Amino acid sequence: MFNGLSMHLGNLPRLSRAKTRSISPENFTGEKGGGGMAADGTGAHAARGLGRGWKVSPSVVIKAGETFELANIAGSGAIQHIWMTPTGRWRFSILRIYWDGNENPSVECPVGDFFAYPTEIKGAEFHGIASLPICVNPYSGFNCYWEMPFRKRCRMTMENIAEEDMTLYYQIDYTLTDVSDDAAYFHAQFRRVNPLPYMTDYTILDGVRGEGHYVGTHLLWGVNNSGWWGEGEVKFFLDGDGAYPTICGTGTEDYFCGSYNFDDQRGAYRAFSSPYTGMHLASKADGFYNASQRFAMYRWHVMDPVRFEENIKVTVQALGWCSRGYLPLQDDISSVAYWYQRLPFEKFPALPGRDYLEII
């Protein structure tokens, strides 16, 4: 039954009693008729004597070491779109989202990683992301279209763990409406291992209990060897699987729906972005301080969600190539896993500290 949450081309003509609201620095609470009323803010100097309604408060400044509450929405409904553009080091800005009064976040990620654009990687051209649930537009226009239902409350924060203040422009578009019983809660979890121990699989997600479905993977892969690095298989262990998974892919670039090393057959990596898959960042070593390469990839399981009833674990092998065949690698890998599940959920592993988060 249509409840005013999801909209797509097929049902856009259908009317709904859902209420559309939006939170931004011009309307911190999303109150009806409450936008553009600020008398002071980061744009006051530019507005001069123009007065209220003339872009007086387009952004917020989050001081070093502080956490800013982006949204605190009471009632039932769904987040439908998030836009933001943060200054500073994106690995040092931590986005968290809490559902229905839970004290532990269901989303906890450095802001760039959440939008599958982890950092301004040296030597990488801006290619952007043109996918359905996430798009990144020049230069740092981060957009998220993952639908995020809630039944009692949504709370969203940004923590600045840097030593410098940051400026954040943002807008959170949402609806207030009834939520159907079969709607699950959105989750996103960040992880990083640097370097990966020899002959050890990298864990993208583990510790999930309950019913849900897995909807996306973002990987940032830093190679510590020369040569090809993407022979490793992505594996999904579902509902009590033991040593062997239910789903086993054929290679890293295959999982991200590319082929043959993402090579354009002219001896170069070819970045790409499509509605559900992409390898959108490929840094270039300069032979000096920027000595290694990094690759950012995403795959969204929008049309092929991986469903689980009891638990799920997702891993990827770090496997390269040498003269004798496969070569286990000890690379720098970080990831964001995206999934929906019912509450309650297991508390996430502790987020790494600032030095371990930093991309060098």
HEC readout, 318-348: CEEEECCEEEECCCEEEEEEEEEECCCCCCC
Which domain-ending residue is among 166, 183, 200? 183
Judged against a pLDDT cut of 60, whether residue 334 lies above it is answered with yes
Together in a domain, 92 and 229: no
CATH number at residue 139: 2.60.120.1390
Together in a domain, 217 and 99: no
Distance between CA atoms of 95 and 161, rounded to whole angstroms? Answer: 11
The residue type at 88: G
Identify whether 48 is part of a domain.
yes
Which domain-ending residue is among 183, 201, 229? 183
Contact 218, 336 (CB under 8 A): yes
Indicate the DSSP class of residue 263. B
Distance between CA atoms of 313 and 205, rounded to whole angstroms? Answer: 5
Identify whether 359 is part of a domain.
no
Domain housing 211: 187-347
Together in a domain, 201 and 141: no
Identify whether 352 is part of a domain.
no
Identify whether 355 is part of a domain.
no
Identify whether 356 is part of a domain.
no
Report the pLDDT averaged over residues 281-292: 83
Domain count, the chain: 2
What are the tens digits of pLDDT across the range 138-176? 989 999 999 999 999 999 999 999 999 999 999 999 999
Predicted model pTM: 0.96
Together in a domain, 299 and 228: yes
Together in a domain, 216 and 305: yes
Integer CA distances (angstroms), 141 to 119, 129, 130, in order: 13, 10, 12
Distance between CA atoms of 56 and 116, rounded to whole angstroms? Answer: 31
**List of residues 6+ apart from 164 with CB closer than 8 A:** 64, 88
Distance between CA atoms of 7 and 26, rounded to whole angstroms? Answer: 26
Identify whether 358 is part of a domain.
no
Residue bearing the bigger pLDDT, 350 or 285: 350
Together in a domain, 276 and 229: yes
Identify whether 14 is part of a domain.
yes
Together in a domain, 178 and 205: no
Together in a domain, 113 and 232: no
| Dihedral angle, C-alpha 203, 205, 210, 211, nearest 10 ° | -120
Distance between CA atoms of 192 and 219, rounded to whole angstroms? Answer: 10
What are the tens digits of pLDDT across the range 29-51? 999 999 999 989 999 898 888 88
Together in a domain, 80 and 194: no
Judged against a pLDDT cut of 50, whether residue 1 lies above it is answered with no
Together in a domain, 42 and 174: yes
Together in a domain, 244 and 172: no
At residue 104 the predicted structure's pLDDT band, cuts being 50, 70 and 90, is: very high
Per residue, the 3-state secondary structure of 153-181, as one string, reads EEEEEEEECCCCCEEEEEEEEEEECCCCC
Which domain-ending residue is among 121, 148, 183? 183
At residue 7 the predicted structure's pLDDT band, cuts being 50, 70 and 90, is: low
Together in a domain, 279 and 324: yes
Percentage of the chain with pLDDT > 90? 83
Identify whether 68 is part of a domain.
yes
